[in-house]
Structure 1
Amino acid sequence: MAYHHGDLRRTLMAAAADAVAESGAAAISLRELARRAGVSNAAPTHHFGDKAGLLTALAAEGYDLLADTVTGARLSGGGIVEMGVAYVRFAMEHPGHFEVMFHPALHRADDEELPAARARAGDALAAGVAEYVGRRPEEGDAETARIAAWSLVHGHATLVLTGAVRTGDPQARTRAIARLLFPEDAAR
Protein backbone atom coordinates (compact mmCIF):
# COMPACT_ATOMS: atom_id res chain seq x y z
CA MET A 1 0.00 0.00 0.00
CA ALA A 2 1.33 3.45 -0.91
CA TYR A 3 1.50 5.87 1.96
CA HIS A 4 3.17 8.90 0.41
CA HIS A 5 1.60 10.84 -2.41
CA GLY A 6 2.62 14.24 -3.67
CA ASP A 7 -0.99 15.37 -3.41
CA LEU A 8 -3.24 12.69 -1.95
CA ARG A 9 -6.37 14.83 -2.20
CA ARG A 10 -5.71 15.36 -5.93
CA THR A 11 -5.06 11.63 -6.40
CA LEU A 12 -8.33 10.76 -4.65
CA MET A 13 -10.26 13.33 -6.70
CA ALA A 14 -8.90 11.94 -9.97
CA ALA A 15 -9.77 8.40 -8.89
CA ALA A 16 -13.27 9.54 -7.93
CA ALA A 17 -13.81 11.29 -11.27
CA ASP A 18 -12.75 8.12 -13.11
CA ALA A 19 -14.95 5.90 -10.93
CA VAL A 20 -18.02 8.11 -11.39
CA ALA A 21 -17.45 8.26 -15.16
CA GLU A 22 -17.16 4.46 -15.31
CA SER A 23 -19.92 3.37 -12.92
CA GLY A 24 -21.94 6.39 -11.85
CA ALA A 25 -22.09 8.32 -8.61
CA ALA A 26 -24.34 5.76 -6.92
CA ALA A 27 -21.76 2.99 -7.32
CA ILE A 28 -18.80 4.85 -5.83
CA SER A 29 -17.65 4.02 -2.31
CA LEU A 30 -14.86 5.47 -0.21
CA ARG A 31 -13.43 1.97 0.27
CA GLU A 32 -13.27 1.40 -3.51
CA LEU A 33 -11.79 4.85 -3.96
CA ALA A 34 -9.04 4.03 -1.45
CA ARG A 35 -8.32 0.79 -3.28
CA ARG A 36 -8.07 2.60 -6.62
CA ALA A 37 -5.72 5.21 -5.17
CA GLY A 38 -3.61 2.61 -3.34
CA VAL A 39 -4.11 4.17 0.08
CA SER A 40 -5.61 3.13 3.40
CA ASN A 41 -9.37 2.96 3.78
CA ALA A 42 -9.18 5.91 6.18
CA ALA A 43 -7.53 8.29 3.68
CA PRO A 44 -10.68 9.34 1.77
CA THR A 45 -12.56 9.84 5.04
CA HIS A 46 -9.71 12.03 6.33
CA HIS A 47 -9.91 14.28 3.26
CA PHE A 48 -13.65 14.33 2.54
CA GLY A 49 -15.46 13.01 5.62
CA ASP A 50 -17.95 10.92 3.70
CA LYS A 51 -19.23 10.18 0.20
CA ALA A 52 -21.27 13.40 0.09
CA GLY A 53 -18.14 15.36 0.96
CA LEU A 54 -16.22 13.67 -1.84
CA LEU A 55 -18.97 14.28 -4.41
CA THR A 56 -19.33 17.89 -3.25
CA ALA A 57 -15.60 18.45 -3.75
CA LEU A 58 -15.80 16.80 -7.17
CA ALA A 59 -18.72 19.04 -8.16
CA ALA A 60 -16.91 22.19 -6.96
CA GLU A 61 -13.82 21.21 -8.92
CA GLY A 62 -16.02 20.60 -11.95
CA TYR A 63 -17.62 24.04 -11.76
CA ASP A 64 -14.16 25.64 -11.50
CA LEU A 65 -12.95 23.68 -14.53
CA LEU A 66 -16.09 24.62 -16.45
CA ALA A 67 -15.65 28.30 -15.59
CA ASP A 68 -12.05 28.20 -16.86
CA THR A 69 -13.08 26.38 -20.04
CA VAL A 70 -15.90 28.70 -21.08
CA THR A 71 -13.98 31.82 -20.04
CA GLY A 72 -11.10 30.73 -22.25
CA ALA A 73 -13.47 30.31 -25.18
CA ARG A 74 -15.06 33.70 -24.56
CA LEU A 75 -11.72 35.50 -24.21
CA SER A 76 -10.42 33.93 -27.40
CA GLY A 77 -13.20 35.76 -29.27
CA GLY A 78 -15.23 32.72 -30.20
CA GLY A 79 -18.54 34.17 -29.10
CA ILE A 80 -21.50 32.33 -27.67
CA VAL A 81 -21.27 29.46 -30.19
CA GLU A 82 -17.68 28.60 -29.23
CA MET A 83 -18.53 28.94 -25.55
CA GLY A 84 -21.20 26.30 -26.16
CA VAL A 85 -18.66 24.09 -27.92
CA ALA A 86 -16.31 24.56 -24.94
CA TYR A 87 -19.12 23.54 -22.57
CA VAL A 88 -19.69 20.29 -24.46
CA ARG A 89 -15.94 19.67 -24.70
CA PHE A 90 -15.74 20.06 -20.91
CA ALA A 91 -18.54 17.49 -20.47
CA MET A 92 -16.82 15.01 -22.80
CA GLU A 93 -13.42 15.46 -21.13
CA HIS A 94 -14.77 15.42 -17.55
CA PRO A 95 -17.80 13.10 -17.52
CA GLY A 96 -17.37 12.19 -13.84
CA HIS A 97 -17.46 15.83 -12.80
CA PHE A 98 -20.33 16.58 -15.17
CA GLU A 99 -22.44 13.78 -13.70
CA VAL A 100 -22.24 15.05 -10.12
CA MET A 101 -22.31 18.81 -10.73
CA PHE A 102 -26.01 19.10 -11.44
CA HIS A 103 -27.34 16.73 -8.77
CA PRO A 104 -27.69 18.71 -5.53
CA ALA A 105 -28.98 15.66 -3.64
CA LEU A 106 -25.43 14.27 -3.88
CA HIS A 107 -23.84 17.36 -2.27
CA ARG A 108 -23.40 18.64 1.26
CA ALA A 109 -25.81 21.50 1.78
CA ASP A 110 -23.45 23.28 4.19
CA ASP A 111 -20.43 23.36 1.88
CA GLU A 112 -18.95 26.82 1.27
CA GLU A 113 -16.79 26.07 -1.76
CA LEU A 114 -19.49 24.61 -3.98
CA PRO A 115 -21.77 27.69 -4.17
CA ALA A 116 -18.75 29.89 -4.93
CA ALA A 117 -17.58 27.56 -7.71
CA ARG A 118 -21.12 27.28 -9.10
CA ALA A 119 -21.44 31.08 -9.10
CA ARG A 120 -18.10 31.44 -10.88
CA ALA A 121 -19.24 29.08 -13.65
CA GLY A 122 -22.61 30.82 -13.86
CA ASP A 123 -20.92 34.21 -14.12
CA ALA A 124 -18.61 32.93 -16.87
CA LEU A 125 -21.57 31.65 -18.87
CA ALA A 126 -23.63 34.80 -18.24
CA ALA A 127 -20.76 37.02 -19.42
CA GLY A 128 -20.80 35.38 -22.84
CA VAL A 129 -24.57 35.67 -23.11
CA ALA A 130 -24.42 39.33 -22.02
CA GLU A 131 -21.90 40.04 -24.78
CA TYR A 132 -24.15 38.31 -27.30
CA VAL A 133 -27.29 40.18 -26.19
CA GLY A 134 -25.31 43.44 -25.93
CA ARG A 135 -24.44 43.18 -29.63
CA ARG A 136 -28.13 42.58 -30.40
CA PRO A 137 -30.26 44.86 -28.23
CA GLU A 138 -33.33 43.91 -30.27
CA GLU A 139 -32.92 40.35 -28.91
CA GLY A 140 -33.79 41.79 -25.51
CA ASP A 141 -34.12 39.33 -22.68
CA ALA A 142 -30.66 38.19 -21.53
CA GLU A 143 -32.14 35.70 -19.06
CA THR A 144 -34.10 33.92 -21.78
CA ALA A 145 -31.00 33.85 -24.01
CA ARG A 146 -28.95 32.43 -21.12
CA ILE A 147 -31.44 29.66 -20.43
CA ALA A 148 -31.78 28.87 -24.14
CA ALA A 149 -28.01 28.64 -24.62
CA TRP A 150 -27.49 26.57 -21.49
CA SER A 151 -30.38 24.24 -22.28
CA LEU A 152 -29.02 23.65 -25.75
CA VAL A 153 -25.45 22.76 -24.77
CA HIS A 154 -26.27 20.99 -21.51
CA GLY A 155 -28.96 18.95 -23.17
CA HIS A 156 -26.74 18.02 -26.08
CA ALA A 157 -23.86 17.06 -23.77
CA THR A 158 -26.19 14.91 -21.66
CA LEU A 159 -27.66 13.19 -24.71
CA VAL A 160 -24.19 12.36 -26.04
CA LEU A 161 -22.87 11.16 -22.66
CA THR A 162 -25.86 8.88 -22.09
CA GLY A 163 -25.61 7.44 -25.59
CA ALA A 164 -29.04 8.74 -26.64
CA VAL A 165 -27.36 10.69 -29.44
CA ARG A 166 -24.39 9.23 -31.25
CA THR A 167 -22.19 11.61 -33.12
CA GLY A 168 -18.67 11.28 -34.46
CA ASP A 169 -17.61 14.70 -33.23
CA PRO A 170 -19.75 16.14 -30.43
CA GLN A 171 -18.03 19.52 -30.67
CA ALA A 172 -18.67 19.90 -34.41
CA ARG A 173 -22.28 18.84 -33.91
CA THR A 174 -22.65 21.34 -31.05
CA ARG A 175 -21.25 24.09 -33.25
CA ALA A 176 -23.76 23.28 -35.99
CA ILE A 177 -26.70 23.10 -33.55
CA ALA A 178 -25.68 26.31 -31.74
CA ARG A 179 -25.49 28.17 -35.04
CA LEU A 180 -29.18 27.38 -35.57
CA LEU A 181 -30.04 29.25 -32.39
CA PHE A 182 -27.35 31.94 -32.64
CA PRO A 183 -26.75 32.39 -36.40
CA GLU A 184 -25.23 35.86 -35.93
CA ASP A 185 -22.24 34.28 -34.18
CA ALA A 186 -21.58 31.83 -37.03
CA ALA A 187 -19.11 34.17 -38.71
CA ARG A 188 -17.05 34.75 -35.56
Structure 2
Amino acid sequence: MGVTDADEPVERVFQALCEGRLARDELTARKIAAFLGQTTMVLYHHFGSLDGFLIRVDGAGWRRLAGLLEARARAGGDARSLAVAYVEFALRHPDLYWLMAERRFDRARLREEGRLRLARPLWGGFVELLRRYGSARPSEDTHVLFAGLHGIAMLALSGRANLGEAPAPDEEVAFAAARRLADLVLPARPPEPPLPPAIGDRDPRRSA
Protein backbone atom coordinates (compact mmCIF):
# COMPACT_ATOMS: atom_id res chain seq x y z
CA MET A 1 0.00 0.00 0.00
CA GLY A 2 1.46 3.39 -0.99
CA VAL A 3 2.01 6.36 1.26
CA THR A 4 -0.90 8.81 1.13
CA ASP A 5 -0.74 12.57 1.77
CA ALA A 6 -1.98 11.92 5.32
CA ASP A 7 0.48 9.06 5.90
CA GLU A 8 3.57 11.01 4.88
CA PRO A 9 3.83 13.37 7.90
CA VAL A 10 3.14 10.45 10.25
CA GLU A 11 5.97 8.48 8.65
CA ARG A 12 8.37 11.42 8.82
CA VAL A 13 7.73 12.11 12.49
CA PHE A 14 7.83 8.40 13.32
CA GLN A 15 11.20 7.95 11.63
CA ALA A 16 12.58 11.11 13.23
CA LEU A 17 11.63 9.81 16.68
CA CYS A 18 13.18 6.42 15.88
CA GLU A 19 16.42 8.08 14.80
CA GLY A 20 16.58 10.64 17.60
CA ARG A 21 16.02 13.63 15.32
CA LEU A 22 12.91 14.62 17.28
CA ALA A 23 12.53 14.55 21.06
CA ARG A 24 9.48 14.32 23.31
CA ASP A 25 9.64 18.04 24.13
CA GLU A 26 9.18 18.80 20.44
CA LEU A 27 5.88 16.91 20.13
CA THR A 28 3.74 20.04 20.12
CA ALA A 29 1.58 21.16 17.21
CA ARG A 30 3.81 24.17 16.52
CA LYS A 31 7.11 22.29 16.64
CA ILE A 32 5.84 19.32 14.63
CA ALA A 33 4.49 21.67 11.96
CA ALA A 34 7.85 23.47 11.84
CA PHE A 35 9.66 20.14 11.49
CA LEU A 36 7.36 19.20 8.61
CA GLY A 37 7.77 22.63 7.02
CA GLN A 38 4.02 23.26 7.11
CA THR A 39 1.44 25.06 9.22
CA THR A 40 -0.38 23.45 12.13
CA MET A 41 -3.39 23.04 9.82
CA VAL A 42 -1.73 19.91 8.39
CA LEU A 43 -2.42 18.25 11.75
CA TYR A 44 -5.95 19.48 12.22
CA HIS A 45 -7.11 19.01 8.62
CA HIS A 46 -6.11 15.35 8.33
CA PHE A 47 -6.10 14.21 11.96
CA GLY A 48 -8.54 16.46 13.83
CA SER A 49 -6.14 17.34 16.64
CA LEU A 50 -2.62 16.93 17.91
CA ASP A 51 -3.80 13.79 19.73
CA GLY A 52 -5.27 12.49 16.48
CA PHE A 53 -1.88 12.89 14.79
CA LEU A 54 0.27 11.54 17.60
CA ILE A 55 -1.93 8.47 18.12
CA ARG A 56 -1.00 7.52 14.55
CA VAL A 57 2.69 7.85 15.39
CA ASP A 58 2.07 5.92 18.61
CA GLY A 59 0.41 3.13 16.64
CA ALA A 60 3.32 3.00 14.19
CA GLY A 61 5.64 2.50 17.16
CA TRP A 62 3.62 -0.38 18.57
CA ARG A 63 3.45 -2.03 15.17
CA ARG A 64 7.20 -1.67 14.75
CA LEU A 65 7.70 -3.33 18.14
CA ALA A 66 5.14 -6.03 17.29
CA GLY A 67 6.94 -6.77 14.05
CA LEU A 68 10.26 -7.04 15.85
CA LEU A 69 8.85 -9.50 18.38
CA GLU A 70 7.13 -11.50 15.65
CA ALA A 71 10.41 -11.74 13.72
CA ARG A 72 12.20 -13.08 16.78
CA ALA A 73 9.42 -15.58 17.37
CA ARG A 74 9.54 -16.78 13.77
CA ALA A 75 13.31 -17.18 14.10
CA GLY A 76 12.76 -19.54 17.03
CA GLY A 77 13.53 -17.12 19.84
CA ASP A 78 12.35 -18.09 23.29
CA ALA A 79 10.21 -15.96 25.60
CA ARG A 80 13.31 -14.56 27.27
CA SER A 81 14.62 -13.17 24.00
CA LEU A 82 11.29 -11.47 23.30
CA ALA A 83 11.26 -9.88 26.76
CA VAL A 84 14.78 -8.55 26.21
CA ALA A 85 13.76 -7.26 22.77
CA TYR A 86 10.96 -5.20 24.34
CA VAL A 87 13.36 -3.55 26.78
CA GLU A 88 15.98 -3.05 24.05
CA PHE A 89 13.41 -1.25 21.91
CA ALA A 90 12.54 1.14 24.74
CA LEU A 91 16.19 1.88 25.49
CA ARG A 92 17.13 2.40 21.84
CA HIS A 93 14.17 4.72 21.11
CA PRO A 94 13.45 6.54 24.39
CA ASP A 95 11.44 9.44 22.97
CA LEU A 96 9.34 7.22 20.71
CA TYR A 97 8.77 4.84 23.63
CA TRP A 98 7.71 7.76 25.84
CA LEU A 99 5.03 8.61 23.28
CA MET A 100 3.94 4.96 23.09
CA ALA A 101 3.82 4.23 26.81
CA GLU A 102 3.92 7.44 28.84
CA ARG A 103 2.15 10.29 27.04
CA ARG A 104 -1.47 10.69 28.09
CA PHE A 105 -4.07 10.70 25.30
CA ASP A 106 -7.76 11.54 25.49
CA ARG A 107 -8.61 8.00 24.41
CA ALA A 108 -12.33 8.37 25.03
CA ARG A 109 -12.49 11.21 22.53
CA LEU A 110 -10.23 9.42 20.05
CA ARG A 111 -12.45 6.36 20.28
CA GLU A 112 -15.57 8.45 19.65
CA GLU A 113 -13.85 9.94 16.59
CA GLY A 114 -13.02 6.47 15.26
CA ARG A 115 -9.27 6.97 15.60
CA LEU A 116 -8.56 3.80 17.61
CA ARG A 117 -9.76 1.32 15.01
CA LEU A 118 -6.66 -0.86 15.08
CA ALA A 119 -5.99 -0.74 18.82
CA ARG A 120 -7.92 -3.91 19.62
CA PRO A 121 -6.54 -5.95 16.69
CA LEU A 122 -3.03 -4.91 17.66
CA TRP A 123 -3.62 -5.85 21.30
CA GLY A 124 -5.11 -9.14 20.12
CA GLY A 125 -1.92 -9.83 18.18
CA PHE A 126 0.17 -9.53 21.33
CA VAL A 127 -2.25 -11.79 23.19
CA GLU A 128 -2.04 -14.37 20.41
CA LEU A 129 1.74 -14.25 20.56
CA LEU A 130 1.69 -15.12 24.27
CA ARG A 131 -0.78 -17.93 23.61
CA ARG A 132 1.69 -19.39 21.13
CA TYR A 133 4.33 -19.28 23.86
CA GLY A 134 2.21 -21.48 26.09
CA SER A 135 0.31 -19.00 28.25
CA ALA A 136 -2.82 -20.54 29.74
CA ARG A 137 -4.24 -17.05 30.39
CA PRO A 138 -2.76 -15.00 27.54
CA SER A 139 -4.84 -11.84 27.98
CA GLU A 140 -3.95 -11.54 31.66
CA ASP A 141 -0.34 -12.48 31.02
CA THR A 142 -0.07 -9.81 28.32
CA HIS A 143 -1.10 -7.20 30.88
CA VAL A 144 1.43 -8.59 33.36
CA LEU A 145 4.29 -8.66 30.86
CA PHE A 146 3.56 -5.16 29.54
CA ALA A 147 3.41 -3.77 33.07
CA GLY A 148 6.56 -5.55 34.17
CA LEU A 149 8.62 -4.86 31.07
CA HIS A 150 7.52 -1.23 31.02
CA GLY A 151 8.60 -0.85 34.63
CA ILE A 152 11.97 -2.44 33.89
CA ALA A 153 12.47 -0.20 30.86
CA MET A 154 11.57 2.98 32.76
CA LEU A 155 13.93 2.10 35.63
CA ALA A 156 16.75 1.60 33.14
CA LEU A 157 15.94 4.82 31.25
CA SER A 158 16.03 6.78 34.52
CA GLY A 159 19.28 5.16 35.68
CA ARG A 160 17.58 3.22 38.47
CA ALA A 161 17.60 -0.35 37.19
CA ASN A 162 20.54 -1.33 39.40
CA LEU A 163 19.94 -0.06 42.92
CA GLY A 164 21.87 -2.94 44.49
CA GLU A 165 25.55 -3.25 45.22
CA ALA A 166 26.60 -5.32 42.21
CA PRO A 167 28.79 -3.24 39.84
CA ALA A 168 26.72 -4.00 36.73
CA PRO A 169 25.44 -1.54 34.10
CA ASP A 170 21.74 -0.62 34.28
CA GLU A 171 21.12 -2.14 30.84
CA GLU A 172 22.60 -5.48 31.87
CA VAL A 173 20.49 -5.56 35.04
CA ALA A 174 17.38 -4.60 33.06
CA PHE A 175 17.89 -7.42 30.56
CA ALA A 176 18.40 -9.92 33.38
CA ALA A 177 15.17 -8.73 35.03
CA ALA A 178 13.31 -9.05 31.70
CA ARG A 179 14.52 -12.64 31.33
CA ARG A 180 13.44 -13.46 34.87
CA LEU A 181 9.99 -11.96 34.29
CA ALA A 182 9.57 -14.07 31.15
CA ASP A 183 10.51 -17.16 33.16
CA LEU A 184 7.87 -16.37 35.76
CA VAL A 185 5.06 -15.69 33.30
CA LEU A 186 5.61 -18.12 30.43
CA PRO A 187 6.67 -21.77 30.14
CA ALA A 188 10.21 -22.38 28.90
CA ARG A 189 9.35 -23.78 25.49
CA PRO A 190 9.50 -22.62 21.84
CA PRO A 191 6.44 -20.97 20.32
CA GLU A 192 3.81 -22.73 18.26
CA PRO A 193 3.67 -21.85 14.55
CA PRO A 194 2.06 -18.43 14.00
CA LEU A 195 -1.50 -17.99 12.82
CA PRO A 196 -1.87 -15.57 9.89
CA PRO A 197 -1.87 -12.66 9.72
CA ALA A 198 1.28 -11.94 11.74
CA ILE A 199 0.97 -9.06 14.18
CA GLY A 200 3.55 -6.97 12.37
CA ASP A 201 2.08 -7.36 8.90
CA ARG A 202 -0.16 -4.29 8.86
CA ASP A 203 1.03 -1.06 7.31
CA PRO A 204 2.85 0.79 10.15
CA ARG A 205 1.44 4.12 9.06
CA ARG A 206 -2.19 3.24 9.78
CA SER A 207 -4.04 4.59 12.80
CA ALA A 208 -3.84 2.90 16.18
Q: TM-score, normalised by structure 2?
A: 0.63
- Structure 1 CA distance, aligned partners of 2:52 and 2:140? 33
User: What's the counterpart of residue 99 of structure 1?
Assistant: 98
Segments of structure 1 that go 5 or more residues without pairing to the other structure are: 1-5, 135-139
Q: 1:187 to 1:7 in 2, by over 3 A?
A: closer
Which among 110, 113, 127 is matched to residue 112 of structure 2? 110
User: What's the counterpart of residue 123 of structure 1?
Assistant: 124
Report how far residue 125 of structure 1 moved. Answer: 2.4
Q: Map of 1:1-188 to 2, 5 A cutoff?
A: 7-15=8-16, 21-23=23-25, 28-102=27-101, 105-107=105-107, 108-112=110-114, 114-116=116-118, 118-133=119-134, 140-165=136-161, 167-169=170-172, 172-178=175-181, 180-181=183-184, 185=188
Structure with the higher helix share, 1 or 2: 1
- Structure 1 CA distance, aligned partners of 2:49 and 2:23? 19
Segments of structure 2 that go 5 or more residues without pairing to the other structure are: 1-6, 163-169, 192-208
The total of aligned residue pairs comes to 174
Percent of aligned positions that are identical: 20
- Structure 2 CA distance, aligned partners of 1:60 and 1:184? 29
Report how far residue 154 of structure 1 moved. Answer: 2.0
Amino acid at match of 1:173: A
Report how far residue 170 of structure 1 moved. Answer: 6.9
SS at match of 2:30: helix
Preserved CA contact (<8 Å) 1:71 1:124: no
Preserved CA contact (<8 Å) 1:83 1:128: no
Deviations 1:140-166 (A, max 9, x none): 544443333333212212222344326
Q: 1:96 to 1:54 in 2, by over 3 A?
A: farther
Preserved CA contact (<8 Å) 1:30 1:41: yes
Using CA pairs under 8 Å that are at least 6 residues apart, name the structure with larger relative contact order, 1 or 2: 2
Deviations 1:49-102 (A, max 9, x none): 321112211222122212212211221111221221222222223333332334
Q: TM-score, normalised by structure 1?
A: 0.68
